[in-house]
Amino acid sequence: MPYVKVAKVADIPRGTMKHFEIEGNEYLVANIEGNFYAVSNICSHMGAQLSKGTLEGRFVVCPKHHESFDLITGKAQSVHGHGIPTYQVKIEGDDVLIEN
């Protein structure tokens, strides 16, 4: 899979997340304790933009229905929730690249 540069490391400080759109696809990239993770920015349940939710440790909370998704695995935290896709992240120098 090809990788695409989305940001500089400094653009996503520890404990923050940022939304990116690449070729019509929406991604959420989060910096959790210095490690970067990428997932779909679209909630699998209600289609909300997860980047408008809150970051709680390694989880993003949907702004519409408050489902929590694990940013490392993509799994929903409720029994009935559907997970979200995850994407590989590479750091090259100061650049953050994600699998596209």
Q: What pTM does this model have? A: 0.92
pLDDT computed for residue 44 by the predictor: 87
Report in angstroms the alpha-carbon separations of 83 from 7, 47, 51, 96: 25, 12, 16, 24
78 — pLDDT class (breaks 50, 70, 90): confident
pLDDT tier at 79 (50, 70, 90 boundaries)? Answer: low
Q: For residue range 4-59, what is the model confidence (pLDDT) as tens digits? A: 999 999 999 999 999 999 989 999 999 999 999 999 999 988 789 999 999 999 99
Enumerate the domain spans of the chain.
3-99
Residue range 88-92: mean pLDDT, rounded: 97
Superfamily, domain 3-99: Rieske [2Fe-2S] iron-sulphur domain (2.102.10.10)
* Cα distance between residue 6 and residue 95, in whole Å: 8
Instruction: Enumerate helices (H) and strands (E) in the chain, giving the number of each.
Output: 0, 10
